């Protein structure tokens, strides 16, 4: 049965107003307006198209044969990911999550997850994501409370959200109170995707400061998108603005290769050129430099010299990683290498990745 959730166009009222005001202030051709428009407004063709695939970028489901253990993924030794919901305040057109199935985490799932987390000697961090976990605050608080009480090996709880930029009013006081009361027990971190300076409006800034005030560390995990932020001027402005908000810089991703997103994906040569220009030109301080990275079928890879290798198929490159299958099997014995990956002579993994056009 196809249980995939509905990924129609959804744009929060807040974003609709922001788009409207941005158009009036800067015009339709401005980088500010386009940055918002292209992230959210779908083309007619996109709206018409039926979603037939379920092409997650990786298959890292933990012990999926064990009854009751669902919605947890494990690609990394120290960290697991819990999917809490598929709901978001707005649907980003390039988001991988459009291919995920609907989520309905029940008591049994929770029990199985807590047991799994508590007994794993390697696990130190949990990423709670979705969808947007800040849309299901009661459930989020409940799950975090259980992690704190039942899995003391977990030192850091990270949450992926776009509520501060998509619907800042939705930030719930209960959640702030929870962070405030528990920030001595674990570290709380929020991964916030901000792709253009226009997204840092005063409402968003307020929301960020409230989270920081209760001890939450906020870091930026952005995407380099054609037509949205693909100019040096835009990126310099963005990373300056993030620094002034005390938001830590983290990844700047190449968009994940999924259907209907080619218009966002620049060729990797161009992506690397942005990496060179942004990080080795003196235009932004070292403290603001993002890690230019790919989300491959076997995990995230930051680009270094020799990471990308030509293949005999024009549209694809090979990504040389330092991941090792035997290492991964120690903490996720059910892990299966995807068809796109292979083991190199030195025992590390190489994975095929679709280039942009």
- Interface residues toward ligand SF4, by CB under 6 A: 88, 91-92, 95, 97, 130-132, 162, 193
Give me the residues paired with residue 191 across strands. 160, 219
125 vs 132, beta carbon nearer ligand SF4:
132
66 vs 104, beta carbon nearer ligand SF4:
104
132 vs 318, beta carbon nearer ligand SF4:
132
140 vs 284, beta carbon nearer ligand SF4:
140
112 vs 198, beta carbon nearer ligand SF4:
198
> Closest approach of Cβ 200 to ligand SF4, in Å?
16
74 vs 91, beta carbon nearer ligand SF4:
91
> Closest approach of Cβ 311 to ligand SF4, in Å?
29
> Closest approach of Cβ 323 to ligand SF4, in Å?
24
> Closest approach of Cβ 132 to ligand SF4, in Å?
5
> Closest approach of Cβ 251 to ligand SF4, in Å?
13
> Closest approach of Cβ 90 to ligand SF4, in Å?
6
């Amino acid at each position: 049965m196809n249980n995939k959730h509905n990924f129609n166009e959804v744009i929060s009222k807040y974003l609709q107003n922001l788009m409207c005001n941005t158009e009036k202030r800067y015009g339709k051709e401005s980088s500010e307006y386009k940055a918002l428009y292209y992230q959210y407004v779908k083309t007619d063709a996109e709206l018409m198209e039926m979603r037939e695939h379920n092409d997650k970028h990786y298959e890292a489901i933990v012990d999926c044969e064990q009854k009751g253990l669902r919605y947890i993924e494990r690609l990394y030794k120290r960290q697991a990911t819990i999917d809490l919901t598929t709901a978001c305040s707005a649907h980003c057109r390039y988001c991988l999550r459009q291919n995920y199935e609907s989520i309905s985490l029940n008591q049994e799932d929770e029990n199985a997850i807590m047991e799994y987390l508590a007994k794993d000697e390697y696990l130190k961090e949990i990423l709670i994501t979705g969808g947007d976990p800040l849309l299901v605050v009661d459930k989020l608080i409940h799950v975090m409370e259980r992690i704190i009480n039942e899995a003391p090996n977990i030192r850091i709880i990270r949450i992926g959200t776009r509520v501060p930029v998509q619907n800042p009013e939705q930030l719930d006081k209960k959640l702030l109170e929870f962070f405030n009361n528990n920030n001595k027990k674990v570290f709380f971190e929020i991964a916030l995707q901000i792709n253009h300076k226009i997204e840092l409006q005063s409402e968003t800034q307020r929301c960020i400061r409230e989270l920081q005030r209760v001890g939450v560390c906020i870091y930026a995990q952005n995407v380099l998108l054609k037509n949205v932020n693909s100019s040096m001027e835009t990126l310099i402005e963005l990373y300056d603005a993030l620094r002034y908000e005390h938001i830590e810089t983290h990844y700047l991703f190449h968009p994940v290769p999924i259907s209907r997103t080619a218009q966002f994906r620049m060729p990797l040569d161009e992506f690397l050129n942005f990496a060179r220009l942004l990080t080795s030109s003196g235009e932004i301080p070292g403290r603001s430099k993002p890690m230019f990275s790919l989300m491959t079928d076997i995990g995230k890879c930051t680009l270094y010299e020799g990471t990308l290798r030509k293949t005999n198929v024009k549209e694809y490159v090979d990504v040389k990683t330092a991941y090792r299958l035997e290492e991964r099997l120690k903490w996720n014995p059910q892990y299966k290498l995807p068809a796109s990956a292979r083991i190199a002579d030195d025992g590390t993994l190489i994975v095929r990745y679709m280039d942009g056009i």
